[in-house]
Amino acid sequence: MDQHNLEPGLRLTDEQRIDWLRLIRSDNVGPRTFRNLLNHCGSARAALDALPELARRGGAARTARISSRADAERELKAAATLGIAYVALGESDYPRLLQSTDDPPPLLGIKGQTDVLRHPLVAIVGSRNASAAGMKFAARLARDLSAGGFIVASGLARGVDAAAHRAVLESGTVCVLAGGLDRIYPPEHLDLFHDIAETGAALSEMPIGWEPRARDFPRRNRLISGISLGVIVIEAARRSGSLITARFALEQGREVFAVPGSPLDPRSEGTNTLLKQGAVVVTEAADVFDVLRPMLDHGPENPVREDETEMAGMTLDPNPGSREKIVSLLGPTPVALDDLIRLSGVSAAEARVILLELDLAGRLERQAGGLISLV
């Protein structure tokens, strides 16, 4: 039987890894749905068998695609050829902090030196069109953090990200990609990517060959904050993607730092807003050390995840009346699971199975803060 969180030091068998890859690559199965399926069905193999019926009961308009064994084997072979390992949630090389987040990828592609992921990580993110001063400060801060025992993580983007990565190539840095690990974006950072993999590591949850789309970058940002003790934002405009990373950091119980900038520079509008909202002011590495070093022994506090153990052993076919109550209460306006359970009078375990069915049918949309709505 598979487990959502494998005991430290254990490894998936080759067969389990194929099943896990098939399940996460199937339609309408994201990290959270994957976790619910394993908790509910007991193993990825059983979940794959149950997918068509669960989706049918959820009202699927058509039969969802289930990734084939041949596709999974082909992807694993391509990854191995590129020097990429697919590490499963709970295995020893899986980033410890990421494992404790709300929706960690079941399988994480890693290229490079996995040992850097055992060190404390701190993220530096910021503007793609950063000023010369912003990139200079990012580089200096990265070097000082590295000298203090931290590994710097970022997103391989132009501007602040690249400056931070380049400053600490010798000691190792971690980049997280929005596409597959063979689809480097931006393309001009291909050499930087390979340099990072020589002494550090590159991560992605996306399949080999996946070209990054706009909606993939926020998913990447949650991984950047998820592997890190804290996120430092340098030069971020009002609608910067770096602010999305900061929001994920807050949701994951991470520390958020911001470097103050001129009120006259639009590139600092987002960072200055973060400071008004309570982010830690950073003008030197000591500001980061003061906050993060006390956390090294026990890690950051993480939000309590909803208990899913009630799903285990639950009948695969909830009461039709319960399903009707849940669906009737859902609509385009996001609601919390607790409110849905209270208003419907349905048990928590049964409600979660019904939501799992709707999810697999492509009818459920999950919002920030654990809210759900009907598509």
Q: Does the pLDDT at position 375 exceed 90?
A: no
Residue ranges of domains in the chain: 14-95, 113-295, 310-374
Fold match flag (113-295 vs 310-374): no
Q: Does the pLDDT at position 4 exceed 50?
A: no
Reduced to 3 states (helix: H, G, I; strand: E, B; else coil), residue 220 is helix
Q: Does the pLDDT at position 25 exceed 80?
A: yes
Closest listed residue to residue 124, CA positions, set 95, 93, 99, 150: 150
pLDDT at 316: 55
CB-hemisphere CA count at 13 Å for 354?
25
Domain boundaries 310-374, CATH class: mainly alpha
Contact 300, 97 (CB under 8 A): yes
pLDDT at 11: 87
Q: For 42-58, what is each residue's pLDDT tens digit?
A: 999 999 999 999 999 99
Contact 143, 151 (CB under 8 A): no
Report the DSSP pairing between strands 107-112 and 335-336. unpaired
Q: Does the pLDDT at position 102 exceed 90?
A: no
Tell me which fold the domain 113-295 belongs to.
Answer: Rossmann fold (3.40.50)
Q: Does the pLDDT at position 187 exceed 80?
A: yes
pLDDT at 9: 58
The residue among 300 and 16 whose pLDDT is bigger is 16
In eight-state DSSP terms, residue 107 is E
